[in-house]
Amino acid sequence: MTEQTPLIWTSKGNLPIDTLQYSTSWEDAPEYMAFTEQYRLGEEIVKSSTHVYSKRPLAFVNSEQGAFG
Amino acid sequence: MANAQALSTSFKVDLLNGLHAFGASVIRGATTKDSFKGALYLATGSQGAATTAYSSTNEVSGTGYSATGAAFTNATAPTSTGTTAFWTPSASIAWTTVTLATAFDALTMYNDTSAGKLAVGTFTFGSQTITAGNFTLTMPTNDSTNALLRLA
């Protein structure tokens, strides 16, 4: 049976995932929430992804109807 | 039942559907809905309320990113609950396997069908860089209190 090493695509090409340091972080701001995951090879970031959840509308209009003068 | 002064809620939905024109408008070639896209902008840019249309100025560039951005999925028509009309893209907008090395913090949504690529609005988020990875903007719940576009 052949032992297979899982690889992951990075800025250095396909690297064995076990050789990388994996970390995640969250940022919770009033307008958004961001989840970032990073893979480092030593001190260098070789893969990072971010997923942002929008908590604020692109537009919000308080529509009002004027009265006759 | 008494009379009450109010904007019609249906009017707000109609605005989202482009059914009223109080000023000079355009002749629409079809009754189909327009296509909307989102473009990413560098943190050094100046997108905002004064943005009137898509521009490549300060747009991000990098491996896997095409100028003019990506298309929003629009499978759900504008609707209303109570007196609030609203609309939200029906799926996340995402860039996969991209490298965006220069910090960016904004997405401008614009009407890709309109001749002038007219802007809808700009959404900002914390400064980001992406390395051989994915960038995803997940949409809020499409309801009267959370939807991406709301006319209240």
> Can you read off the two tokens belonging to residue B9?
């809620």
User: Is B85 part of a structural domain of the chain?
Assistant: yes
Cβ of B128 within 8 Å of Cβ of A47? The answer is no
> How many angstroms away from the CA of A49 is the closest CA of chain B?
5
User: Is B116 part of a structural domain of the chain?
Assistant: yes
> Can you read off the two tokens belonging to residue A40?
């480092």
User: Is B53 part of a structural domain of the chain?
Assistant: yes
Other C-beta atoms lying within 10 Å of the C-beta of residue B100: 23
A/B interface, count of CB pairs below 8 Å = 98
Cα B137 to Cα B56, B92, B107: the distances in Å are 20, 6, 9
User: Is B51 part of a structural domain of the chain?
Assistant: yes
Which chain A residues are within 8 Å of B5, Cβ to Cβ?
65, 67
Structural domain count, chain B: 1
Q: Indicate if ipTM > 0.85.
A: no
Q: Which residues of A touch B (CB under 8 A)?
A: 9-11, 27, 29, 31-32, 34, 36-38, 45-65, 67
Q: HSE (CB half, 13 Å, CA atoms) of A11? A: 21
Range of the domain at B98: 35-140
Cβ of B132 within 8 Å of Cβ of A9? The answer is yes
Which chain B residues are within 8 Å of A38, Cβ to Cβ?
131
Residue pLDDT tens, chain B, 152 long: 787 777 788 888 898 898 888 888 888 888 999 999 999 999 999 999 899 999 999 999 999 999 999 999 999 999 999 999 999 999 999 999 999 999 999 999 999 999 899 999 888 889 999 999 999 999 989 999 889 898 88
- Looking at the DSSP bridge assignments, the partners of residue B128 are B104
